[in-house]
Structure 1
Amino acid sequence: MVDLAASPEGAEAAIVVDRFCKSYNGRRVVDELSFSVRRGEVFALLGPNGAGKTTTVETLEGYRRPDGGSVRVLGLDPIRDAARLKPLIGVMLQQDGLYPMLRPREVLRLFAGYYRQPQPIDQLLERVGIDPGTKTICRRLSGGQKRRLALALALVGNPQLLFLDEPTAGMDPQARLATWEIIRDLKAQGVTILLTTHLMDEAERLADRVAIIDHGRLIALDTPERLTGVDSATVLRFVAPAGLDSRALAALPGVQRAEEVRPGSYLLETAPQSMPAVLADLTAWLRDRGITLTELRVGHGSLEELFLRLTGSEMRE
């Protein structure tokens, strides 16, 4: 189920991390980490606090130098080839670092001046949901507005590769969905995106592949569907009113076992090849009886459940 080879499978890689190591004060925080990111994909890099995510991303961006191994970004060395690489990438930092006394349009115009062919400023501000004519200075923007402006700053240079660090942190649900649509549009345009997030549903919905690291090592890498078992699903879970007839559910074609695991929460087991038919039969069975289905999940669990199973549930600083 879990692919640790990290092979680009013949596709040209936008990012190659090869046995990358990094230590601070004698403590190794990244330990022979290897993975690759294909051009044009959304790649989510996940891990608990202290797992080595930030060190890895900052090294790819050219802010840190590997102690061992190597990294390549768009075929370039992030430090030696920094002058060639910087115009090709966009970076959305977790800490925005905006000029506090400037207005959003002024900040974006300043950053646009660093690029030969920047995006139109006003259109970009509107795209991220900020009024180009606002007089509010950056210091007084809400947390969500600051994140949206940081996204605009990352996009202004038309990057080939985009680094997004917790892109929707602090955003309201509407802004979050709008940001997801921007990410999907960028992918459709061929932009490569490396995403770090603590929101598992964000990674599950946006990423083509997900890498989970812990203690500086790669512990899982695959598509969200394969990691959560959807591709080879034998388990279907759903939530409906309590007290449904488990015997009748077990009698549906293809169902091997049916159980109400707790009031209103049901589990059906089937063979992977039978899952599409079981889904159709279950929803028809519920419809014919006027039963409302409030939640449905195919697979062994969510990405969040897998993440906690692999990395543990204890809190970390």
Structure 2
Amino acid sequence: MAHSQQYCFASLNLLNFTAPPFSFYQPHETYNDTQWQSKTQFITGLIEHINPTVIVFQEVFSVEVLEALCKDLGLIHFAVVDMPQPDSMYPTVLFNPVVAVASTHPFTSVEALEPCPELLEYLNNQQQFKFNRTPIKCKIELEGLGPIVCYAVHFKSQRVLSMAHMLGSSEQDDPLLTLLHETVGTMQSQISRSLEASIIYYDALKTQREQNCATLVMGDFNDQLHSPALSFMTQTFPPQISSNPPFDSVGLFDSYSFADNTVSLAEKPATHFYKGKGNVLDYILASKKFNPNQIKPTVKTLTYHNYDGHLDAKRTEEDIRYSDHSAIAIKVSL
């Protein structure tokens, strides 16, 4: 009997991965030696347990440290397409964390995802567009699966930018300001997140059709997939009404929806907790090639995994020694 080929694809938000003596956002936001040792041991142990073929990361400040950690674990191919930025007055204080990707197999290409200018014009985005965190678009060739295009993403957070300057007021407890933040501010956050998702979605489908390749979009979406801002990313195509070949070769699906172990789960497990409430914010979207329910499937089995042992729904503050997100992964056999 032939030995089945197995691969694992994973995502992990590292929560401010910043090696001392550097700080994240503020001079006092830093790790002491004991906290940093706990942090790196946690991440190392988790990655060893997952044993990924490809893993994407979010909230990376110390790029070189993470690269060395991954290479020690056999993930010898590592890439980023952007770098965090130091504060102009305090160079050890870092801003703008980046996404990263690591793999046991070499990349055939790695690039920063650039938005299509015609798409931006169509979406009436006249200003100079910039991702909150630049996505990575990379290609990897895996035996049995062929070429796979992977997107490492971290969409705009739900954090609302202050509108105080528009009211000529610095009072953050102003009732009118609070109302505006809960309405207009929240809507602006959703629009920004949806625009980022639209650009990635367009590029993924266009690349699928042009290159006939499998696709994975992995990372922290900072929203639930069924939200108005993101629900279009897994829309199914309408029935064919013409005699042309069926248009079913492109598209994205939540990999959880066709995992063979979901029957043992009452509901999709939360990947993040806020004030005791769990939400699914991290996703692995996959193309049709990963669906084991096809007539002649390439992937024979797919299992979904949520590594949340470090999360505590009752915790009200972040524990920087770990992460405030669970790691997620899909494991496939051919």
Q: TM-score band (shorter)?
A: 0.3 to 0.5
| Larger Rg belongs to | 1
User: What TM-score comes out, normalization by structure 1 length?
Assistant: 0.33
